[in-house]
């Protein structure tokens, strides 16, 4: 299903009327090339072009359409007219050189380096005569025959090439396209020769030449930089792994790609489509924890470009981007109409995570655009909670997850949490219990329920209430004075006692929250009797400092909260109840700072 959807997306992009939006034809790929050697027709180097641009804190090279790269393992295999500096210039990779010296294998590495350069040149020299008659090919061969590193060393970009072993390619001086993009070359390498079908492709359901080794998938966060695979089968081991018997992955005489037969055309299509979606500059990917998440539709649709704005953290120069995206989604759901695309258009979301040399599927969801839009809207409805005016209207997924991490750092987000939360959103399932547990733990550790943690607690508990069809009342975005839950009321009570203390002693460096929050939220009976006794002293002093009306108001509020705590203070609160306590505390604190209309004369006396 996943490969079929990716194959269909590739064919959809190939049919795009705008040539610039079409994906590479078979035999080609898009590659980030940081440096280009500008050479003359005689092979002389004019300059080294640096295509990199600053994105955030990283320099990112420009992407070019080049002949598809070979799959490299431990052997020496060169790409056609582009490769890293080891292959193109014979320059050692500094890290590899230092490592080889440490292991006493410097001579072996330098010998291998010479072989790599020879293989790169041979790949070009072995082209048919029609290829080698091209002016660009002749120029590259002349450059390689008379390679003069001393001339390159005088150029500013050469130092960066020496230290980073980047990908290089060639361009004739004053040309626009790379030499490997010249029409005679690009046209010849695109497409594959007709080979007799030797199996049935499981993706397209038709006879095809089965691909033995699928092209690598690149761009999955945390996976190998050289790429990894979704479809991967170990090579057959003739000796077997059980007393000479045939290994399980070679059952029935099948080996490697024939265990899961995918035609050459389909393998190229799905890998090209996925690499396009995973590209660094793709507008159809977001990073959710350790899950690299991509999304696409069967036809052009609003949601393809909206999802990064819905779930991603808005840029500093456009902090309202997330708000606009969510409001546009709400408008589309309410009207039942998207600006581009149909309600019934199938939409696909795929979450990928690294798993050694392979890629694991973290989650996969396919639904109509309207149904998916409703589930996303339900997420933002569930996460809605009262907050300060200066805070964003909607919580981004990044901000939600970092609020649950130690020190609020993205690196400390539990590996599987992001994918589990995203799956719950897309499938309309209860949020993972880990979301609630982490929110409670961080509230206790920092002695402070924040807006994001309170939203996570409210959303998780409300979805559990719905899924289990219990009689418990769902929690509102703001203070609910009629909610009878004991833990929720105790959280409210703790907030009122803290506010009373603050008004009596506004210069305190630490309030009861800093000293007692963790104990009060987990073992109320150990703390509240003492705090309730102390409140009489605080109320008395409050009446003296702020007037009798304020003291009466706070005392009534305490009495109202305690009226439903009939069985006394519980000795222990479960993790969900600790979440209710945090929510009650947060709601009550926010309510104190909510503007109200005129108060009664008694309250202002």
Residue 75's pLDDT band (cuts 50, 70, 90): confident
Residue 194's pLDDT band (cuts 50, 70, 90): low
* Residue 600 predicted with pLDDT over 70: no
Predicted confidence at residue 602, as pLDDT, reads 44
Q: Are the CB atoms for 82 and 31 separated by under 8 Å?
A: yes
Mean per-residue pLDDT for 348-368?
91
Tens of pLDDT, residue by residue over 544-593, are 877 788 899 999 999 999 987 767 899 999 999 999 999 999 999 999 98
Predicted confidence at residue 519, as pLDDT, reads 97
Rounded to whole angstroms, how far apart are CA atoms 112 and 44?
A: 26
Rounded to two decimals, the pTM is: 0.84
CA distances 409 to 398, 404, 417, 542, Å, are: 10, 9, 14, 41
**Average pLDDT in the chain:** 90
Predicted confidence at residue 337, as pLDDT, reads 87
The proportion of the chain whose per-residue pLDDT surpasses 90, expressed as a percent, equals 70
* Residue 520 predicted with pLDDT over 70: yes
CA distances 159 to 18, 35, 90, Å, are: 39, 12, 15
3-state SS, one letter per residue, for 547-562 = CHHHHHHHHHHHHHHH
Residue from 233, 136, 264 nearest 188 by CA: 136
φ, ψ of residue 65 in degrees (nearest 5): -90, 115
Residue 185's pLDDT band (cuts 50, 70, 90): confident
Least confident of 211-215, 266-270, 271-275, 350-354: 211-215
* Residue 503 predicted with pLDDT over 80: yes
* Residue 376 predicted with pLDDT over 70: yes
Predicted confidence at residue 70, as pLDDT, reads 87
The proportion of the chain whose per-residue pLDDT surpasses 70, expressed as a percent, equals 94
CA distances 438 to 205, 410, 414, 428, 445, Å, are: 46, 14, 10, 21, 10
Mean per-residue pLDDT for 85-110?
93
* Residue 243 predicted with pLDDT over 80: no
Estimate the share of the chain in helix, then strand, then coil, as percent rounded to the nearest 5: 50, 15, 40
Predicted confidence at residue 192, as pLDDT, reads 54
* Residue 475 predicted with pLDDT over 80: yes
Mean per-residue pLDDT for 378-387?
97
> What is the side-by-side order of every strand in the sheet holding 82-84?
45-50, 35-39, 167-172, 82-84
Mean per-residue pLDDT for 317-335?
93
The residues, any chain, with a CB within 8 Å of residue 255's CB and separated by 6 or more, are 233, 235, 236
- More confidently predicted of 246 and 186: 186
Predicted confidence at residue 55, as pLDDT, reads 84
Mean per-residue pLDDT for 101-125?
94
Residue 383's pLDDT band (cuts 50, 70, 90): very high
Tens of pLDDT, residue by residue over 396-450, are 999 999 999 999 998 899 988 999 999 999 999 999 999 999 999 999 999 999 9
Predicted confidence at residue 249, as pLDDT, reads 64
- Return the SS3 of 585: helix
Predicted confidence at residue 240, as pLDDT, reads 46
Predicted confidence at residue 246, as pLDDT, reads 62
Least confident of 53-62, 136-145, 183-192, 406-415: 183-192
Predicted confidence at residue 566, as pLDDT, reads 66
Mean per-residue pLDDT for 161-181?
93
Mean per-residue pLDDT for 151-175?
92
* Residue 178 predicted with pLDDT over 70: yes
Predicted confidence at residue 245, as pLDDT, reads 61
* Residue 238 predicted with pLDDT over 70: no
């Amino acid at each position: 299903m996943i490969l079929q959807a990716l194959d269909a997306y590739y064919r959809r992009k190939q049919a795009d009327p705008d040539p610039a939006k079409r994906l590479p034809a078979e035999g080609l790929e898009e590659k980030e090339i940081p440096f280009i050697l500008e050479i003359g027709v005689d092979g002389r180097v004019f300059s080294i072009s640096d295509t990199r641009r600053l994105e955030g804190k990283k320099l990112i090279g420009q992407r070019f359409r080049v002949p598809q790269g070979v799959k490299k393992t431990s052997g020496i295999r060169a790409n056609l007219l582009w490769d890293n500096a080891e292959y193109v210039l014979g320059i050692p990779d500094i890290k590899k050189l230092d490592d080889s010296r440490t292991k006493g294998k410097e001579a072996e590495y330098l010998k291998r380096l010479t072989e790599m350069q020879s293989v790169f040149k041979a790949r070009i020299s072995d082209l048919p005569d029609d290829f080698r008659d091209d002016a660009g090919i002749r120029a590259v061969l002349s450059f390689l025959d008379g390679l003069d590193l001393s001339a390159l060393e005088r150029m500013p970009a050469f130092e960066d090439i020496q230290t980073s072993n980047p990908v290089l390619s060639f361009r004739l001086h004053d040309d626009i396209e790379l030499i490997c993009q010249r029409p005679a070359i690009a046209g010849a390498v695109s497409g594959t020769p007709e080979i007799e079908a030797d199996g049935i492709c499981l993706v397209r359901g038709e006879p095809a030449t089965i691909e033995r080794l699928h092209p690598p998938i690149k761009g999955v966060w945390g996976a190998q930089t050289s790429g990894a695979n979704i479809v991967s089968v170990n090579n057959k081991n003739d000796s077997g792994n059980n007393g000479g018997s045939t290994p399980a992955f070679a059952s029935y005489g099948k080996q490697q790609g024939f265990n899961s037969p995918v035609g050459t055309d389909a393998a190229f299509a799905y890998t090209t489509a996925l690499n396009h979606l995973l590209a660094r500059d793709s507008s159809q990917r977001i990073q959710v924890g350790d899950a690299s998440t991509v999304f696409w539709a069967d036809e052009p649709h609003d949601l393809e470009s909206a999802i990064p704005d819905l779930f991603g953290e808005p840029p500093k120069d456009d902090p309202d981007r997330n708000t606009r995206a969510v409001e546009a989604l709400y408008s589309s759901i309410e009207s039942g109409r998207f600006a581009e695309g149909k309600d019934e258009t199938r939409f696909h979301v795929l979450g990928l995570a690294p798993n050694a040399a392979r890629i694991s599927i973290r989650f996969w969801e396919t639904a109509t655009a309207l149904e998916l839009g409703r589930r996303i809207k339900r997420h933002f409805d569930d996460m809605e909670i009262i907050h300060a005016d200066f805070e964003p209207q909607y919580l981004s997924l990044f901000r939600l997850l970092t609020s649950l991490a130690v020190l609020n750092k993205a690196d400390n987000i539990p590996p599987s949490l992001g994918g589990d939360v995203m799956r719950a959103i897309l499938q309309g399932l209860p949020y993972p219990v880990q979301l609630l547990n982490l929110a409670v733990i961080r509230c206790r550790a920092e002695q402070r329920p924040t807006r994001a943690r309170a939203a996570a607690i409210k959303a998780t508990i409300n979805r559990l209430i719905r899924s289990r069809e219990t009689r418990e009342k769902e929690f509102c975005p703001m203070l609910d004075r009629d909610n009878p839950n004991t833990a929720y009321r105790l959280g409210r009570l703790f907030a009122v006692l803290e506010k009373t203390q603050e008004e009596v002693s506004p210069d305190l460096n630490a309030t009861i929250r800093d000293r007692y929050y963790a104990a009060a939220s987990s073992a109320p009976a150990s703390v509240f009797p003492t705090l309730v006794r102390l409140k009489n002293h605080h109320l008395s002093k409050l009446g003296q400092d702020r007037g009798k009306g304020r003291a009466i108001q706070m005392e009534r509020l305490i009495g109202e909260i305690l009226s439903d705590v009939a069985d006394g203070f519980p000795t222990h609160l479960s993790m969900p109840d600790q979440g209710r306590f945090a929510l009650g505390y947060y709601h009550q604190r926010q309510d104190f700072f909510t503007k109200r209309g005129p108060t009664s004369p008694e309250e202002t006396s």
